């Protein structure tokens, strides 16, 4: 039924790929075919290559410039999360793989007594990355772990009065960044409006947790995000409305697709006016070939557009029942 509501059938485009990994997820999630165990993907070249670069402590070494070293930024934490995204979202890895468990334990080693996983912005609070990191840890099987529950407690303490989250550092001028990194973490000013960019990354942790996705704070946050569709953010370097339409897979920043994916996992109804607004945008902006474009990191012969199309189709299939 959901395909009948689209201008072009996106399955024809997606099934034309020669990527066996993408075909696995298309057949499992969009065609409801009984597939081989996901572990069959783990021995492919790309995940094998990534795991070969993993350090003994479970982290991945960041190889680029490191201007924040002197301010205590943990580049390895960010790099580990970045690679874990690929292994989990594109190859279905979970904690039953020993190297994924090593990566998770490294990430947990960065958790403070307060409950947050810290280091991406030196000693400062990063609720947005906390949510995105917890999303992966929950997906790989740590949803009952006390360290995850402690992380949720921390996130709830960081909420704005109206709901949602901000990035405390983003309330300062960027030229103050380096000096702020050397100070004790700044708490959020809770009377300020929330940032949908930050909140959209936080909600991903709630959306994938079997209990927290049904909680009052999660539902309230979903309502807040729907009301922000296609508006400018109040803070951050990603204020422009255009960022709602910049898609990538695996997910990183907040955009229309990541929020709709979270609302799908939280089982918002398809006839909700806010959900309808998001669905209408995707239907109206489908390409002639049936797909939707990735706007990050285009590489020759890459399947990045097809992965984004798969993620959009997954959302449409759920809501357009």
pLDDT tens for residues 104-114?
999 999 999 99
Looking at the structure of the chain, the number of domains it has is 2
- Same domain for 28 and 105, yes or no, is no
pLDDT tens for residues 254-283?
999 999 999 999 999 999 999 999 999 999
- Same domain for 154 and 294, yes or no, is no
* SS3 label, residue 60: strand
User: What average pLDDT does the segment 283-306 reach?
Assistant: 85
251 part of a folded domain: no
- Same domain for 31 and 58, yes or no, is no
- Same domain for 98 and 219, yes or no, is yes
- Same domain for 50 and 30, yes or no, is no
Of the residues 208, 243, 278, the one at which a domain ends: 243
**What's this model's pTM, rounded to 2 decimal places?**
0.95
- Same domain for 85 and 7, yes or no, is no
264 part of a folded domain: no
- State how far the Cα of 110 lies from the Cα of 130, in Å rounded to an integer: 11
User: What average pLDDT does the segment 1-24 reach?
Assistant: 94
Half-sphere CA count of 267, side-chain side, radius 13 A: 7
- Same domain for 81 and 229, yes or no, is yes
pLDDT tens for residues 44-81?
999 999 999 999 999 999 998 898 888 888 999 999 99
- Same domain for 275 and 220, yes or no, is no
Residue of 298, 308, 285, 306 lying closest to 15 (CA atoms): 306
- Same domain for 298 and 230, yes or no, is no
Tracing tokens 């939280």 back to the chain, one arrives at 266
Alpha helices by DSSP H, 138-243: 146-157, 177-181, 196-207, 216-227
- Same domain for 237 and 161, yes or no, is yes
- Same domain for 79 and 101, yes or no, is yes
Confidence of residue 247 (pLDDT cuts 50, 70, 90): very high
311 part of a folded domain: yes
**What is the residue range of 92's domain?**
38-243
- Same domain for 228 and 169, yes or no, is yes
The neighbour count for residue 237, using CB atoms within 10 Å, is 10
Q: How is residue 99 written in tokens?
A: 């190297």
């Amino acid at each position: 039924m959901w395909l009948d509501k689209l201008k072009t059938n996106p399955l024809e485009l997606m099934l034309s790929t020669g990527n066996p990994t993408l075909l696995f997820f298309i057949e499992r999630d969009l065609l409801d075919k009984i597939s081989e165990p996901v572990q069959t993907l783990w021995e492919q070249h790309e995940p094998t290559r990534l795991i070969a670069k993993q350090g003994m402590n479970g982290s991945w070494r960041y190889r680029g410039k490191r201007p924040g070293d002197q301010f205590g930024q943990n580049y390895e934490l960010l790099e580990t999360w970045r690679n874990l995204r690929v292994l989990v979202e594109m190859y279905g890895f979970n904690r039953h793989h020993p190297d994924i468990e090593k990566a998770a334990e490294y990430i947990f080693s960065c958790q403070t007594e307060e409950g947050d996983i810290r280091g991406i912005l030196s000693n400062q609070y990063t609720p947005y990355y906390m949510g995105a990191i917890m999303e992966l840890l929950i997906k790989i099987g740590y949803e009952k772990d006390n360290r995850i529950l402690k992380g949720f407690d921390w996130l709830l303490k960081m909420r704005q009065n109206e709901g949602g989250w901000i990035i405390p550092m983003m309330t300062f001028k960027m030229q103050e960044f380096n000096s702020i990194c050397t100070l004790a973490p700044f708490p959020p000013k809770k009377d300020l409006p929330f940032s949908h960019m930050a909140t959209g990354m936080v909600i991903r942790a709630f959306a994938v947790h079997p209990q927290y996705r049904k909680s009052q704070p999660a539902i309230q946050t979903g309502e807040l995000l729907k009301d922000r569709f296609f508006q400018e953010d109040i803070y951050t370097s990603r204020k422009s409305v255009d960022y709602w339409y910049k898609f990538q897979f695996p997910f990183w920043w907040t955009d229309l697709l990541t929020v709709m994916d979270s609302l799908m996992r939280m089982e918002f109804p398809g006839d909700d006016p806010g959900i309808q607004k998001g669905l209408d945008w995707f239907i109206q902006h489908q390409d002639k070939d049936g797909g939707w474009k990735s706007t990050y990191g285009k590489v020759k012969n890459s399947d990045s557009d097809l992965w984004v199309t798969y993620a959009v189709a997954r959302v449409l299939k759920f809501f357009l029942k």
